[in-house]
Amino acid sequence: KAGVTQTPRYLIKTRGQQVTLSCSPISGHRSVSWYQQTPGQGLQFLFEYFSETQRNKGNFPGRFSGRQFSNSRSEMNVSTLELGDSALYLCASSLWQATDTQYFGPGTRLTVL
């Protein structure tokens, strides 16, 4: 069974631009979560989607948004990029419950110049 895939793997943007990252969960998984990883803040939860609805949200500004499609694939969008948005963005999928194992993708490395 294929794992979680994320595209693109690397991205370079300039301040003020916007970016869209994509995540395809493991087949059959209906929950997709997004995390930001930086050297200073570690791994922080952004949001979780289930059945095309945002089910949980972390403490990030409204510039960070996401959505989920009917096939469970998810995208996250960051508008008006800031230097501090440079990070590894990780996507995780699970079946659907909080008790289920989370499986992570390889991440998208975003650099904002």
Partner 1 sequence: KQEVTQIPAALSVPEGENLVLNCSFTDSAIYNLQWFRQDPGKGLTSLLLIQSSQREQTSGRLNASLDKSSGRSTLYIAASQPGDSATYLCAVSPKGETSGSRLTFGEGTQLTVNP
Q: Does 106 bind partner 1 (CB under 8 A)?
A: yes
* Ramachandran assignment for 105, one of left (phi > 0), alpha (psi -120 to 50 degrees), beta (any other): beta
Q: Does 2 bind partner 1 (CB under 8 A)?
A: no
Q: Does 60 bind partner 1 (CB under 8 A)?
A: no
DSSP string, 43-57: EEEEEEEETTEEEEE
Span 71-90, contacts to partner 1 by CB under 8 A: 88, 90
Q: Give φ, ψ of 58 to 5 degrees.
A: -90, -170
Q: Catalog residues that contact partner 1 under the rule CB under 8 A.
A: 4, 6, 31, 33, 35, 42-45, 48, 50, 55-56, 58, 88, 90, 92, 94, 97-107, 109
